[in-house]
Amino acid sequence: MTDLTPATGTLRFSIVFFGILAALAAGALALFTIGETYAIVTAATIVVTSAVIAFTASPLLGRIILGVLVVTLAGSLTVGALGTIQILAALAGDQSGPVDPADPDQLASAELKIDQSVEDNTFRVELSESELNAVLQDALTETDTPFQLITIDILNASSEPALIGFHGDFKNGRLSVDGELTAEIMGGRLEFELVDAEVGMFTMPGVARDAVEDMIGRVADLNRALAEEGADVQDVVIGDDQIVVTGIATGEGSIDAGVLLASFSNLGEIAIATVDAPPYAPGVDATAVDGEEYYVALGDSLAVAVGVDSLAEGYVSQVHRELSLVDGIPYGLRNFGKTGETSGTMLLGDQLTTAAGFGEEHDVRYVTIDVGANDLLGHLASSDCSEDIAAPECRSRIDATLIAYEQNLTLILEEAEDAFPDADIVFLLAYNPFSLGFEEQVEFEARSNLALEALNEIAVTVAQKFDVLIADGFTPMRGTTTATTHMTDTPPDIHPNAVGYDILTAAVLDALRR
């Protein structure tokens, strides 16, 4: 008959109690060292074994097992505590220590490639794995990070999803981190996600994994680094031991339209088209007018009225005036447009967030958005495209731009809809400044029209998802830009003249009247 004395009952309780504690401690240690599956098996085995022994074993064996459980508990807690202290010291310790120097030759080679590419209106930078490691290591000196050294190993082919092996040495704790991560462009930013990571003997749990992801992202923030040079990253291709970064230089200089006009040289003197545009009276020569209800404008240099003498001649001010007259309401105005803006910089910069903040505090009745031309036109003016727009290098640029544009515009319109729930939102399609009227004779004009049409088709598709109205700024400008822009000036300029802005004004108003 089984012994039911108080001593035996106490022993049973102790075995079960310490079995549960030992299971939790050993399971946690297994989770951080050999993985989730092993952690579950370890914890379950200890719990089941201790329960069976508690109710079947002799008192002597029970006491032995109890001792083993206590030792397991103490050992797991000790090892776990020491490892945790090491990790915390590495992640949260003094980050001001020295970092290993970057390879000077590889760094110089990478910086030369970046500098040369960003001098143009676009860039397409190809960095080898060694050059990228030098850039990342140099970034450690400029970034608040606990890493002393970071090296990466590109594991995938360029046709496969990005998979990057990485190794990092911490400044504190004499620890290193090893793992793999993926990378992709999301909303104009290069995002990293850890697939696997180990710090010393420990695998990374969720919270620590997020912290390491964030630290690696800050060090490898190509978007931030290039943005400081006035650039917007549109695409990153990682594979075959190299990284290819494509984007737009977003400074305020004009795209070199003269390069593209060389495509028309065989036609002799460029004919000046005549265009009948609806005449609109100028509006206010200001970006801000107070009112009880508002019209808010977001966009690039078109919203800023580059190409005419004053804001009053631009489409934003003219639309503001016409809306006020037709509705009989003295609308306020906030024009947040920014010269050189791309869909990527609109997401990463302050234009959209500032406008959204304004919308939270004011009654906004109308919103217009124009963005996307700068995403594409610079690539058309690049050396890869200006000689042969059908060349593989040019197609690669255009395809990357269109993919990034769709992602970015989706986020832009989603934020605009949330920020201005009661407003009529109008998106203005981009025109082709290189559509001078020689489409049948000049291949470049025909192909550039196709590229702009592809960009605008994306805008129409995305706008329909959010019930955003479409203003067709492309069709009425097609084949007319000798008369509607400054393309025949010296030097040529892609921006509209007064006639062009009248046409864009009509496009916006037509969209609102439908």
Residue 48 CA to residue 68 CA, distance in Å, equals 15
Question: Where are the strands (E) in 14-132, listed by range?
Answer: 122-128
Do 273 and 146 touch, CB atoms closer than 8 A? Answer: no
DSSP string, 146-190: SEEEEEEEE-S-TTS---EEEEEEESSTT-EEEEEEEEEEETTEE
| 117 Cβ contact partners less than 8 Å away, ≥ 6 residues apart | 123, 124, 125
Amino acid letter, 346 = M
**pTM: predicted TM-score of the whole model, two decimal places:** 0.73
Which parts of 371-496 are beta strand (E)? 424-428, 469-471, 485-486, 493-496
Query: What contacts 438, CB < 8 A, 6 or more positions away?
Result: 264, 267, 445
CA atoms of 298 and 423, how far apart (whole Å): 14
Q: How far is CA 202 from CA 9, 15, 158, 307, in A?
A: 38, 29, 31, 61
Q: What is the torsion angle, in degrees rounded to the nearest 10, for the CA atoms of residue 92, residue 94, residue 95 and residue 100?
A: -120
Sign of CA dihedral 69, 74, 77, 79: negative
Transcribe 192-222 into DSSP letters.
Answer: EEEEEEEETTEEP-HHHHHHHHHHHHHHT-H
Maximal C-alpha separation, the chain: 114
DSSP characters for 319-384? HHHHHHHHHT---EEEE---TT--HHHHHHSSHHHHHHHHHHHSEEEEEEEE--HHHHHHHHTSHH
365 and 199 Cβ atoms separated by less than 8 Å: no
- Residue 86's SS3 state is helix
Residue 92 phi/psi, 5° resolution? -115, 5
In this prediction, residue 220 carries a pLDDT of: 54
Tell me the C-alpha distance between 500 and 278, whole Å.
Answer: 10
| Cα dihedral across residues 350, 456, 451, 488: positive or negative | negative
> What is the CATH number assigned to the segment(s) 282-513?
3.40.50.1110
Q: What does the alpha-carbon distance between residue 342 and residue 122 come to, in Å, rounded to a whole number?
A: 12
Neighbours of 89 (CB within 10 A): 17
Q: What are phi and psi of 174, to 5 degrees?
A: 50, 40
In contact, 483 and 452? CB cutoff 8 Å: no
Q: At what angle do helices 104-118 and 129-140 cross, to 10 degrees?
A: 100
pLDDT by 10s per residue, the chain, length 514: 444 444 477 777 777 777 677 777 776 666 665 656 777 888 788 878 877 877 787 777 877 877 787 787 777 667 666 665 556 555 555 556 677 888 889 989 988 887 776 655 677 788 898 988 887 788 777 666 677 787 889 898 878 888 888 887 777 656 777 778 887 766 656 677 777 767 665 555 544 555 555 656 555 555 555 555 556 778 888 889 988 878 777 655 456 666 556 666 555 566 677 787 788 899 999 999 999 999 999 999 999 999 999 999 999 999 999 999 999 999 999 999 999 899 988 988 899 999 999 999 999 999 999 999 999 988 887 778 877 788 888 888 899 899 999 999 999 999 999 999 999 999 999 999 989 888 888 888 888 899 999 999 999 999 999 999 999 999 999 999 989 999 888 888 899 999 999 999 999 999 998 7
Note the pLDDT of residue 442: 80
Q: By C-alpha distance, which of 20, 21, 72, 30 is closest to 205?
A: 30
Hunting for tokens 């990466």 — which residue is that? 152
Q: Which residues contact 449 (CB under 8 A, 6 or more apart)?
A: 432, 435, 439, 478
pLDDT score of 54: 74
Domains of the chain, residue spans:
6-92, 104-249, 282-513
pLDDT of residue 3: 47
